[in-house]
Amino acid sequence: MILGTGVDIVEICRIRKAADKWKDKFLNRVFTDKELRYANGKKFIYQHLAARFAAKEAVLKAFGDSSINDMEWKNIEIVNNSDGRPIVILKGQARKTMVKRGISDVIVSLSHTRNYAVANAILVSA
Protein backbone atom coordinates (compact mmCIF):
# COMPACT_ATOMS: atom_id res chain seq x y z
CA MET A 1 0.00 0.00 0.00
CA ILE A 2 1.27 3.48 -0.84
CA LEU A 3 1.52 5.67 2.26
CA GLY A 4 2.96 8.78 0.66
CA THR A 5 4.54 10.24 -2.47
CA GLY A 6 6.81 13.17 -3.10
CA VAL A 7 8.56 14.76 -6.06
CA ASP A 8 11.19 17.47 -6.33
CA ILE A 9 13.11 19.23 -9.08
CA VAL A 10 16.35 21.15 -8.52
CA GLU A 11 18.34 23.49 -10.71
CA ILE A 12 21.84 22.04 -10.79
CA CYS A 13 23.38 25.52 -10.74
CA ARG A 14 21.71 26.11 -7.35
CA ILE A 15 23.63 23.20 -5.81
CA ARG A 16 26.85 24.32 -7.49
CA LYS A 17 26.42 27.89 -6.18
CA ALA A 18 25.74 26.67 -2.64
CA ALA A 19 28.84 24.47 -2.76
CA ASP A 20 30.95 27.33 -4.14
CA LYS A 21 29.68 29.76 -1.51
CA TRP A 22 29.66 27.58 1.63
CA LYS A 23 32.08 24.85 0.52
CA ASP A 24 32.36 21.86 2.86
CA LYS A 25 29.99 23.43 5.38
CA PHE A 26 27.12 22.99 2.92
CA LEU A 27 28.25 19.68 1.45
CA ASN A 28 28.89 18.02 4.82
CA ARG A 29 25.59 19.29 6.24
CA VAL A 30 23.49 17.88 3.41
CA PHE A 31 25.35 14.86 2.03
CA THR A 32 26.81 11.76 3.67
CA ASP A 33 30.37 10.61 3.01
CA LYS A 34 29.05 7.86 0.71
CA GLU A 35 27.01 10.34 -1.32
CA LEU A 36 29.99 12.69 -1.68
CA ARG A 37 32.35 9.87 -2.69
CA TYR A 38 29.86 8.68 -5.31
CA ALA A 39 29.39 12.14 -6.83
CA ASN A 40 33.10 12.95 -6.72
CA GLY A 41 33.74 9.84 -8.80
CA LYS A 42 31.57 11.16 -11.62
CA LYS A 43 32.44 13.55 -14.45
CA PHE A 44 29.53 15.88 -13.69
CA ILE A 45 29.60 15.98 -9.89
CA TYR A 46 26.85 18.56 -9.38
CA GLN A 47 24.30 16.68 -11.47
CA HIS A 48 24.66 13.71 -9.13
CA LEU A 49 24.60 15.85 -5.98
CA ALA A 50 21.52 17.69 -7.24
CA ALA A 51 19.74 14.40 -7.97
CA ARG A 52 20.43 13.22 -4.42
CA PHE A 53 19.32 16.57 -3.02
CA ALA A 54 16.07 16.28 -5.00
CA ALA A 55 15.60 12.72 -3.73
CA LYS A 56 16.00 13.84 -0.11
CA GLU A 57 13.44 16.60 -0.70
CA ALA A 58 11.07 14.12 -2.37
CA VAL A 59 11.35 11.77 0.62
CA LEU A 60 10.60 14.65 3.01
CA LYS A 61 7.57 15.62 0.94
CA ALA A 62 6.37 12.00 0.96
CA PHE A 63 6.46 12.04 4.78
CA GLY A 64 4.50 15.27 4.50
CA ASP A 65 3.98 16.47 8.07
CA SER A 66 5.66 18.22 10.98
CA SER A 67 7.79 15.15 11.76
CA ILE A 68 10.09 16.28 8.94
CA ASN A 69 11.13 19.26 11.05
CA ASP A 70 13.12 16.88 13.27
CA MET A 71 14.87 15.14 10.37
CA GLU A 72 18.37 16.07 9.33
CA TRP A 73 19.50 15.98 5.70
CA LYS A 74 22.04 13.26 6.40
CA ASN A 75 19.34 11.06 8.01
CA ILE A 76 18.17 10.43 4.44
CA GLU A 77 20.94 8.77 2.45
CA ILE A 78 20.68 7.99 -1.26
CA VAL A 79 23.07 5.26 -2.42
CA ASN A 80 23.11 2.79 -5.29
CA ASN A 81 22.64 -0.93 -4.81
CA SER A 82 24.84 -3.49 -6.57
CA ASP A 83 22.67 -3.20 -9.71
CA GLY A 84 23.10 0.60 -9.78
CA ARG A 85 19.52 1.32 -8.66
CA PRO A 86 19.19 4.18 -6.16
CA ILE A 87 17.99 3.16 -2.73
CA VAL A 88 17.11 5.12 0.39
CA ILE A 89 18.66 4.47 3.78
CA LEU A 90 16.87 6.21 6.64
CA LYS A 91 18.63 6.93 9.92
CA GLY A 92 17.86 8.75 13.16
CA GLN A 93 14.50 10.52 13.31
CA ALA A 94 13.70 9.54 9.73
CA ARG A 95 14.12 5.86 10.62
CA LYS A 96 12.01 6.27 13.78
CA THR A 97 9.23 7.88 11.76
CA MET A 98 9.44 5.11 9.16
CA VAL A 99 9.01 2.43 11.84
CA LYS A 100 6.24 4.35 13.64
CA ARG A 101 4.21 4.67 10.44
CA GLY A 102 4.70 1.08 9.33
CA ILE A 103 6.66 2.04 6.23
CA SER A 104 8.46 -1.00 4.87
CA ASP A 105 10.28 0.62 1.94
CA VAL A 106 11.04 3.95 0.32
CA ILE A 107 11.30 3.73 -3.46
CA VAL A 108 13.10 6.49 -5.34
CA SER A 109 13.73 7.34 -8.95
CA LEU A 110 16.28 9.96 -10.02
CA SER A 111 17.00 11.69 -13.30
CA HIS A 112 19.03 14.67 -14.45
CA THR A 113 19.85 16.73 -17.49
CA ARG A 114 22.48 19.41 -17.93
CA ASN A 115 20.36 21.95 -16.00
CA TYR A 116 17.91 20.06 -13.79
CA ALA A 117 17.69 17.07 -11.48
CA VAL A 118 14.41 15.46 -10.52
CA ALA A 119 13.44 12.74 -8.07
CA ASN A 120 10.31 10.87 -7.06
CA ALA A 121 9.82 9.05 -3.75
CA ILE A 122 7.11 6.58 -2.76
CA LEU A 123 6.56 5.33 0.81
CA VAL A 124 5.09 1.82 0.92
CA SER A 125 3.90 -0.56 3.62
CA ALA A 126 4.03 -4.35 3.54
* pLDDT (tens digit per residue) in 47-99: 999 999 999 999 999 998 777 777 899 999 999 999 999 999 999 999 999 99
Q: Is 114 exposed, middle or buried (0-12, 13-18, 19+ CB in 10 A)?
A: exposed
Residue 31: Cβ within 10 Å count:
23
**Domain count across the chain:** 1
Give the pLDDT band of residue 15 (cuts 50, 70, 90): very high
Please indicate, yes or no, whether the overall pTM of this predicted structure exceeds 0.75: yes
Percent of the chain exceeding pLDDT 90 equals 93
Percent of the chain exceeding pLDDT 70 equals 100
Give the pLDDT band of residue 102 (cuts 50, 70, 90): very high
| pLDDT, position 45 | 97
CATH code at position 58: 3.90.470.20
Instruction: Indicate if the pLDDT at residue 106 is higher than 80.
Output: yes
**Residue 30 is which amino acid?**
V
Q: What is the mean pLDDT of the chain?
A: 95
- Looking at per-residue confidence, does 126 or 104 come out higher? 104
> How many whole angstroms separate alpha carbon 74 and alpha carbon 6?
18
Q: Answer yes or no: are the C-beta atoms of 59 and 125 closer than 8 Å.
A: no
| Residue-number span of the structural domain to which 53 is assigned | 2-124
CA 90 to the chain's CA centroid: 10
